[in-house]
Amino acid sequence: MSKITVIGQGECEFDGQFSMLEALDESGFDMPYSCRGGNCGACAVKLISGKVEEIQSPIYEPNDDEILTCSCIPMGDVVLEIP
Ligand code: FES
């Protein structure tokens, strides 16, 4: 199981949910999102540490230091920051 830490909000476990957004949502985190499909960019957060894998091919291209929580799963422990 991977640990997802959101700076300023706390941490939760990733336990095979569809996406990081789903895991964070289930744990009651107040994460920004809209489409959940990689189209809008609303869920973009800074990846401070750790690695992620894309589980769908997003249309929206986040900045180099950002990831889309709706379109990724963690590969080990990750630390995120909401911009
Ligand atoms: S919620 Fe729209 S790109 Fe993730």
The confidence score (pLDDT) of residue 36 equals 97
What residue ranges line ligand 1, CB within 6 angstroms? Answer: 33-36, 38-43, 58, 60, 68, 70
Q: Is 53 exposed, middle or buried (0-12, 13-18, 19+ CB in 10 A)?
A: exposed
Mean pLDDT, the chain, whole residue set: 97
The confidence band for 76, taking pLDDT boundaries of 50, 70 and 90, is very high
Q: Which residue type is seen at 72?
A: C
What pLDDT, on the 0 to 100 scale, is given for residue 33? 97
Residue 26: domain span: 2-81
| Total count of domains within the chain | 1
Rounded to 5 degrees, φ, ψ at 67 are -135, 160
- Which one of 43, 56, 72 would you pick to mutate in the ligand 1 pocket, going by the greatest count of ligand atoms within 8 A of its CB? 43
Q: Where are the beta strands (DSSP E) in 1-77?
A: 2-6, 10-14, 44-49, 52-54, 66-68, 72-74
Domain CATH for 69: 3.10.20.30
**Residue 59 CA to ligand 1 centre (angstroms):** 9
Share of the chain above pLDDT 70, in %: 100
Q: What is the pLDDT of residues 19-55, one digit of tens each?
A: 999 999 999 999 999 999 999 999 999 999 999 999 9
